[in-house]
Structure 1
Amino acid sequence: MGSRWRATASLLLNHTTTKALKFLSPNLPRPIYHSHPLTQTVCGFKFRSFSAIPSRVSVYSNEIESGSHDLDINYDLGPKEGEESGKIPVKAYFLCTSINLKSMQAENLSYVVPPTSRSTNYVVLKFFDFSSDISALGIREYISCRYMVVFQYGSAVLFNIEDPEVERYLEMVRRHTSGLLSEMRKDDYAIKEKPLLDEDMQGGLDYIVLKTLDTDSIRIIGSVLGQSIALDYFVSQVDGMVEEFAGINRAMEKTGTFSMDRKKLLQLVGKANSNLADVILKVGLFERSEIAWRDAKYAQIYEYLREEYEVTQRFGNLDFKLKFVEDFFRFLPKC
């Protein structure tokens, strides 16, 4: 009996100390610690520690080995075999026109997930949050993993991060940006995991169901959502240029003369051409992911999301509008 109460008192002291340390520590995401083979949880289901090899999301029920199991410390229970996880929120942002990945990795080295491909235009960061609650059954401890995929061309895709927490993660990105937008663009998506799914994946309304969620799945989903939200920005830029050229056409129709300053016209055409180059080269809209090339499972996710987000069709519309601008410029010397 005395041993049991001593174990209880020790756990309560540990809980109080943990809360105090959390209160005193800065309000920043915590790095992953690898001293113990912790099972990590994402929205109620658990991850093993990640390595360069994509690891499967699994559910484990662990007990802490000690002299007494009267008060076991349990990890947050995720979906059992055959159960379906809740939706994991995915948020894509386009913040700027360039992110210095080298300086960002150097500043956040303890968060960086080792790459599984040769691609150098993005970095994956992994964070975890630790909390514990006292209940009648003992102390339950929760380890929640969050992920952020950051792309050199200006997108950041956040996994398992709720709205109130988003800003502190985006601030980590902003410190390494150039060409910061006055108003960033955003899109929302979600993931569900269903271990007994007959196929590797299944589409849903604004979400995707995966039989297995691993690091490469996160990379693939992040790449398509990052490109899609960047494409939104470039389409809006081209729409603005088309509207401006349409105004010039209307003025020419009324007056029969072209009154726009030629320097400004050249700047507009240059902007149109650079937008097209950025979409193709920087965003890499037509560069198929190396991960998708080597595994049909990831290729299926990649193709599904590109079709779901109508990436090819939206680029076709952008290209058509840019051709309108180009044709207008070619017409001017003949006037």
Structure 2
Amino acid sequence: MWRTIDAHLKTVRLPVRTVLLSHHQNPPSLPSLKPPNSLHFFFLSKTLTISSSTPYPPSPILAFTTHYINSVALGRGRNLVPVRRISSISSSAPPNQQHTAVGWNEPVTCSELGDGGEGTKIEEDARQSIPVRAFLFSTSVDLKSLVEQNKKKFIPPTSRMTNYVVLKFGNLSQAAGLGTCISGSNCCYMVVFQYGSIVLFNVREHEVDEYLNLVRKHASGLLPEMRKDEYEVREKPTLNTWMQGGLDYIMLQFLNTDGIRMIGSVLGQSIALDYYGRQVDGMVAEFTDINRGMEKTGTFSMDSKKLFQIVGKANSNLADVILKLGLFERSDIAWKDAKYAQIWEYLRDEFELTQRFASLDFKLKFVEHNIRFLQEILQNRKSDFLEWLIIVLISVEIIISVFDLVQRSGFKFL
């Protein structure tokens, strides 16, 4: 009997809605259930009714009914989830026939239900995601003139840092204060640094050029190519901790203007440090070619003017990294609040600012070593030239003195 039951169950595909596989009349429809307001887990209850009068029922009737209950389990929101009920009744059994009921419970999975819970989660994550884009196309920005032309959008600073400004675009009446989320809003933020970095928050891809053009008018020292970096901030008010890191993103309970300043400062330093690192890489490559040429020919053709230009470039890059970027200066916001200090430390580790500066410093030391070596060679060349010049002058003077002495003694050359 159980094998027959299994055979009948295997030939039937469980539908989502109520299905009745027999010539028997449809069962009466069940009244709609009002979903409860409380959160709860649910289990799928299935009941199989088997006729016990005959060992092999000729034509069992399998009835499938669907009930909808509230499923707010695992934080997926209120959704009506179908619960199926299976019953089997023999078509040839009399009304007073006894039946044997076998019941079991099994948990319902979201993949089995297909109620769109995953899509709701993806849509919610997309709404909570805030794109962050960092740009660098110049080495200096006049912040004073930028603020003069955008006074209404300027957000006053909350710390003593004066090397950057924050501008807000969109609905200016909605201030991102303490505990205020900006995800899903029309507000956009732009952090502009004096050393040329620009960080955009919640700005769409097709609107980036419009915001960059506002800064380009006040920029100087334009670079041949613009550098770009991307990051992501996610807001989750139900997060157990203040912040949580991930792969190329950081999750916060909320993002306000202080958080924007803190994240923007680290991203601005990162993209600027990348530019200066490439400048030093170019100098290292140039000295590498010189050393290889010296290995083959035993000499080099660089003049002192070119060497002094490289010396000035290396020193200015190191000064800009230390002074302009403020790479080792802790923000006042991080000093006042431990939460933002946690963001500052995490992002510095995430972007490896300390390690990258150590690599930059090591390369600059290599450049400095080569500069000293080449300077010594050029100095030796100059000393040799002066020595030979002195020898020539002394020789000429001796020749003139001998000629004058001979002429005075009255000696005549034949």
Q: Specify if TM > 0.5.
A: yes
Asked if 1:314 corresponds to 2:356, the answer is yes
Q: Indicate the residue corresponding to 1:139 in structure 2.
A: none
Q: Indicate the residue corresponding to 1:147 in structure 2.
A: 189
Partner Cα separation in structure 2 for residue 304 and residue 97 of structure 1: 27
Q: Indicate the residue corresponding to 1:157 in structure 2.
A: 199
- Higher relative contact order by CA 8 Å / sep ≥ 6: 1 or 2? 1
Asked if 1:233 corresponds to 2:275, the answer is yes
Letter in 2 for 1:246: T
Shift of 1:86: 2.3
Q: Indicate the residue corresponding to 2:256 in structure 1.
A: 214
User: Does the Cα contact within 8 Å between 1:101 and 1:122 map onto a contact in 2?
Assistant: yes
Name structure 1 gaps, 5 residues minimum: 1-78, 131-141
Q: Indicate the residue corresponding to 2:343 in structure 1.
A: 301
Structure 1 runs, 4 residues or longer, greater than 3 Å off: 82-85
Letter in 2 for 1:318: L
Q: Indicate the residue corresponding to 2:245 in structure 1.
A: 203
Partner Cα separation in structure 1 for residue 126 and residue 204 of structure 2: 20
2:230 to 185, 188, 191: 188
Letter in 1 for 2:248: D
Shift of 1:84: 9.0
Shift of 1:330: 1.3
Q: How many residues align?
A: 244
1:279 to 293, 310, 321: 321
1:265 to 286, 297, 307: 307
Name structure 2 gaps, 5 residues minimum: 1-120, 173-183, 378-414
Partner Cα separation in structure 2 for residue 247 and residue 129 of structure 1: 55
1:323 to 365, 372, 383: 365
Partner Cα separation in structure 1 for residue 367 and residue 126 of structure 2: 50
Asked if 1:172 corresponds to 2:172, the answer is no
Partner Cα separation in structure 2 for residue 162 and residue 314 of structure 1: 30
Q: Indicate the residue corresponding to 1:101 in structure 2.
A: 143
Q: Residues 111 and 276 (structure 1 numbering): CA distance in 2 closer, same or farther, change over 3 Å?
A: same
User: Does the Cα contact within 8 Å between 1:85 and 1:194 map onto a contact in 2?
Assistant: no
Shift of 1:332: 2.4
Shift of 1:210: 0.3
User: Does the Cα contact within 8 Å between 1:84 and 1:193 map onto a contact in 2?
Assistant: no
Q: Residues 83 and 327 (structure 1 numbering): CA distance in 2 closer, same or farther, change over 3 Å?
A: closer
Q: Indicate the residue corresponding to 1:133 in structure 2.
A: none
Partner Cα separation in structure 2 for residue 334 and residue 292 of structure 1: 47
Identity of aligned residues (%): 66
Q: Residues 209 and 84 (structure 1 numbering): CA distance in 2 closer, same or farther, change over 3 Å?
A: farther
Partner Cα separation in structure 1 for residue 185 and residue 271 of structure 2: 30
Asked if 1:244 corresponds to 2:286, the answer is yes
Q: Residues 241 and 83 (structure 1 numbering): CA distance in 2 closer, same or farther, change over 3 Å?
A: closer
Q: Residues 165 and 83 (structure 1 numbering): CA distance in 2 closer, same or farther, change over 3 Å?
A: closer
- TM-score, scaled relative to structure 1: 0.70
Letter in 2 for 1:113: I
User: Does the Cα contact within 8 Å between 1:101 and 1:152 map onto a contact in 2?
Assistant: yes
Q: Indicate the residue corresponding to 1:58 in structure 2.
A: none
Q: Residues 210 and 85 (structure 1 numbering): CA distance in 2 closer, same or farther, change over 3 Å?
A: farther
Letter in 2 for 1:324: F
User: Does the Cα contact within 8 Å between 1:84 and 1:194 map onto a contact in 2?
Assistant: no
Partner Cα separation in structure 2 for residue 162 and residue 261 of structure 1: 50
Q: Indicate the residue corresponding to 2:155 in structure 1.
A: 113
- TM-score, scaled relative to structure 2: 0.57
